[in-house]
Structure 1
Amino acid sequence: MNIPILIVHKGNTFYLPIVLRQLRLFNPNSRICLISDESTKCYDFVEHYDIKNYSEGLIHFGEIYKHRSSNPYDYELFCFQRWFVINDFVKENGLQDFLCMDSDVLFYCNVDDVFNHYLGCDFTICNKLGPGCSLFNAHSIKSFCDYMMLMYTSPSYINKMDGIYENLKSEKKLGGICDMTAFVWYQENVKCNVIDIATPIEGSCFDGCITWSAGFEMKNGKKKVYWKENLPYGKLESDNSLIRFYCLHFQGRSKYSIFKYILDKNKVHHSGFWYDLKWLLSKDILNARLKGIKKAINNPKMVVNFVKAKLK
């Protein structure tokens, strides 16, 4: 079965073309549907869809959403809303099974070859809470969206979320309620068949986040990657076995190092001082860092949260 790949994204960020090109490299015949804004309508090797045409559920959820996180309001809200965008897109286009993919995930596999083994489950997840590459079906995405609406309308859930967030604030900790919270609670409270694809099976797995150890050897705050035949592997601390990564997820500031893990058009991995320097001094990354600095200047609270996280 050919599994469509859906990506919901805002803005033409420096890492988006990197991710899209590598995804196409390993999936030359797949439908790649980028649901986004006008700024990303420039990649002729994917299908572009205007996010404004799939905003009904997004708007309804926004009307009931209450922010309970140290992360910025707009960021956290959109993390929830993207699932409603996908639900509306799936209904509009009559899709059945499909892969939802974060725009900061590098793929090193063919989606059909791997995910056809998981057809029939409600969805796939990484480390129970990471939906960076989640296979859904039309029924399960609607069920999950209904559950998120319940979370923000049911008094019992509202009280639970309020209690968690107030405790975090009183203990001066970062974090709060996010869509990953919804994924964990859904698995705990709704009868469902969910497969954790971050668990190594027959020598391979998907990476939930490159900055989470999950039992793998770490180096400089990220999973240490070993390259074999131009494919990435991680070493399990338990027995030193090498596990092939089907993907790597560059969440947060780790995006700035994404260039170290890409393959060229011939699927060859490159590294070295001059290669790294070329990327670090590239216009795209320099502009991205400049935008980050400007954003920090305009949002001092973000700087405070970043410093607190580093000091933990």
Structure 2
Amino acid sequence: MTSALDLLNTGVAHHNAGRLAEAEGLYRRVLAIDSQQYDALHLLGLIASAVGRLAVAERLIQLAISLHPDFVDAFYNLGNIRQRDNRLEAALSAFGHAVALAPTPRNRDAAGRAHAERAAELAGAPLSTAFNAVHRRNRAEPLWRTDALLTAWGAERRSAILAHVDEALRLSPDQDMVRHAAMLIFVAIGALERGLAVLGSPDGDGNAEFGRLGAELAWYLRRPDEARACYRAFIRRQSGGEAPLRPLLPEVARRLDGTRPRGTRPRGPVLLYAHYGNPDFLHYSIGQSLISNPDARVILIGDRENRIEGIEHHRIQDFNDAARPVIDRYRHDSNNPYCYELFCIARWFLFLDLCRREGIEEMFVLDSDYMLFTGLSDVADRCRPLGCGFSLNSAHFSYFRTDTLAAFCDHIAGIFRRGEEGGDFCHKNNSELLSDMAFLFDFQRRTPHRNFCVIEEGGRFDYSITAPEGYRSTKGVKDIRFENGLPYALPEDGGAPTRFFGLHFQGLTKPMMRRAFHRQSWGDAAATASAAMGEP
């Protein structure tokens, strides 16, 4: 006769292999032999939890604990079940027992996370306000005003929240989730110093996101040196390590099959991108550039997350020293997050350093929300005599000779070197806030250049699909229709349709890039984009 222990061990083997029905049958046979077998009860509870029967799972595990009060794993799993059921106080009780019985890293981390979640649950809306202020740089919700939102908490609730935060940090000080939640709560109560401290030092390795958030908080606290150190930490951490090589979009791979032999450098125009992170729209932009320019040398200065098959990739960190004239003196004044805006300015120095190292004499620079629908060799021929070309007062699609790019970088560096990048500079350039586009506008006024947003050679480049520019639009978004794979817009005055050589999906219209990539015309899509931007 098979013993209860043999049945239990066989059941565990099935359980570990994912054969839950077989495991459940064996655990029930164990209990038929010995109804007090707490391991079988506990394991049956885990199976019930795995299939979403949380009430049954809790009842079985509680029964196991009643038979074996020092059952550490059962308390741990009971806490997880209650946490999944959004009963955080009950989860904390279970985790507390697990830690008291065995303060292992696993138990301490679980208890720490539960305390952090409970603190966030108690915090409520003010925590969302803090999140928006730090992550989205919402100037309508500046950090120094969030404390006023907490008056509804009252002293007792605030004390409870902070007690949970302190306990979370005591139990699990190295857990990123715990530290992030603690930072937000400290920000919500106006304790920015504590919020910055909990993110840790920018020195050494760590969470790249903490470097980015640290830069934001340090700037709020008027600690420019620390903000710059956090930016450097963000770039270093974001660039370090390895991640899987991302495939080209299947449609792009099919179109390019056989046209770009492996191991050979393309001899067509150079297209430069700079981006951190790996959003879908980056792939649509690069993919469309390759479809329109299969002979192009596309180069992405990026991070570990956005290495793409067949695309020449360089890490931001390898060129970051070239941007020291900006980074060492940067003073933030923008609606955008600190690291985002600084990177937008620094990228021009990264591009210049890359071009000098690689012997590149001319290039097109594209933002990752721009899509090309034309070849660029003839465009380069028209731009080369002037040395640069822009999309009105913006550089989301631009052309530079390397000597002109060097002049632009020298112009930016000179502004920072002379300390002129404050309010007077913005006033002179009709710019409310400081950005690389404000510097570009100032450079444009002094430099002959080509404007891509005028009609020539049978079409034009887009400034932004959110700018109607005299074309038919729906709720402020140009109506675009595709004919033979190319985008067109109709003038409001009823004239002939205008072909667009490129489209700029600025801001919250980026989700529309997928539709453009698949050549799907829109009028209804424009309404969808407007809804995404919060319009009625």
Common fold: TM-score over 0.5: yes
Structure 2 match to 1:25: 291
Percent identity over paired residues: 25
Distance 2:478 2:521 in 1: 17
On the 8 A contact 2:329/2:416 being kept in 1, the answer is yes
CA contact (8 A) 2:389 2:452 kept: yes
Could you say which residue in structure 2 is the equivalent of 1:220? 475
**Shift in Å, 1:64:** 0.9
The structure richer in helix per residue is 2
Is the CA contact 2:395–2:437 (under 8 Å) kept in the aligned structure 1? yes
SS in 1 for 2:364: strand
In 2, are the aligned partners of 1:203 and 1:242 still within 8 Å (CA)?
no
Whether 2:455 is the aligned partner of 1:200: answer: yes
Instruction: State the partner residue of 2:371.
Output: 106
> In the alignment, does 2:398 pair up with 1:154?
no
Give yes or no for contact 2:394–2:441 (8 Å, CA) kept in 1. no
SS of match in other structure, 1:152: helix
Greater relative contact order (CA < 8 Å, ≥ 6 in sequence): 1
- Alpha-carbon deviations, 1:111-142, whole Å to 9, x = none? 22433222222211112x12111110111111
- How big is the shift at 1:271? 5.9
Structure 1 match to 2:439: 182
The residue that corresponds to 1:284 in the other structure is none
Aligned in 2, Cα 1:3/1:47: closer, same or farther, shift over 3 Å? Answer: same
Could you tell me whether the CA contact under 8 Å between 1:9 and 1:36 is conserved in 2?
yes
TM-score, length of structure 1 as denominator length: 0.77
Size of the alignment, in residue pairs?
A: 264
Per-residue Cα deviation, 1:54-89 (whole angstroms, up to 9, x for no partner): 112223311111112222222211111111110111
Pick one of 73, 96, 103 that aligns with 2:338. Answer: 73
Q: Name the CA shift for 1:249/1:163 in 2 (closer, same or farther; >3 Å).
A: closer
Q: Does 1:51 align with 2:308?
A: no
The CA deviation at 1:159 is: 5.0
In 2, the alpha carbon distance for the partners of 1:209 and 1:176 equals 20
Q: Summarize the alignment of residues 159-178 of structure 1 with structure 2, pairs less than 5 Å apart.
A: 159-161=423-425, 176-178=433-435
Cα distance in 2 for partners of 1:60, 1:47 equals 26
Amino acid paired to 1:185: D
Contact 1:213 1:222 in 2 (8 A): yes
Relative to structure 1, the CA distance from residue 252 to residue 93 in structure 2 (aligned partners, 3 Å threshold; closer, same or farther) is same
TM-score w.r.t. the length of structure 2 is 0.46
What is the rounded CA distance, in whole Å, between the counterparts of 1:104 and 1:143 in structure 2?
Answer: 26
Whether the aligned pair in 2 keeps the contact of 1:68 and 1:161 (CA below 8 Å) is no
1:138 aligns with 2:395: no
Structure 1, gaps ≥5 residues long: 169-174, 264-268, 281-288, 290-305
Residues 159-199 of structure 1 show CA distances to partners (whole Å, capped at 9, x for unaligned) of 5136579x99xxxxxx51211111111122x2x22000111
Unaligned stretches of 5+ residues in structure 2: 1-266
Q: Which residue does 1:92 correspond to in 2?
A: 357
Q: Which amino acid aligns with 2:293?
A: N
Whether the 8 Å CA contact 1:56–1:88 is kept in 2: the answer is no
Q: Kindly tell me: are residues 28 and 163 of structure 1, through their superposed partners in 2, closer, same or farther at Cα, counting changes over 3 Å?
A: closer
Tell me which amino acid in the other structure corresponds to 2:272: L
In the TM superposition, what is the alpha-carbon distance from 1:16 to its structure 2 partner? 1.2
Q: Greater share of strand residues, 1 or 2?
A: 1
Instruction: Tell whether the 8 Å contact from 1:57 to 1:84 is kept in structure 2 after alignment.
Output: yes
The SS at the match of 2:487 is: strand
Paired position in structure 2 for 1:229: 484
Counterpart residue number, 1:241: 496
Which structure has the larger Rg over C-alpha atoms? Answer: 2
CA RMSD across the alignment: 2.8
Give the whole-Å Cα distance in 1 for the aligned partners of 2:481 and 2:413. 42
2: CA distance between counterparts of 1:232 and 1:159?
40
**Structure 1 residues 152, 220: CA separation in 2 closer, same or farther (over 3 Å shift)?**
same
Q: Specify the alignment match of 1:15 in structure 2.
A: 281
Q: Given the superposition, is the C-alpha separation of residues 156 and 75 from structure 1 closer, same or farther in structure 2, using an over 3 Å criterion?
A: closer
Task: Tell me, in whole angstroms, the C-alpha distance in 1 between the residues paired with 2:468 and 2:372.
Answer: 19
Deviates more, 1:80-89 or 1:55-64: 55-64
1:120 matched to 2:375? The reply is no
User: What code does the residue aligned with 1:15 have?
Assistant: F
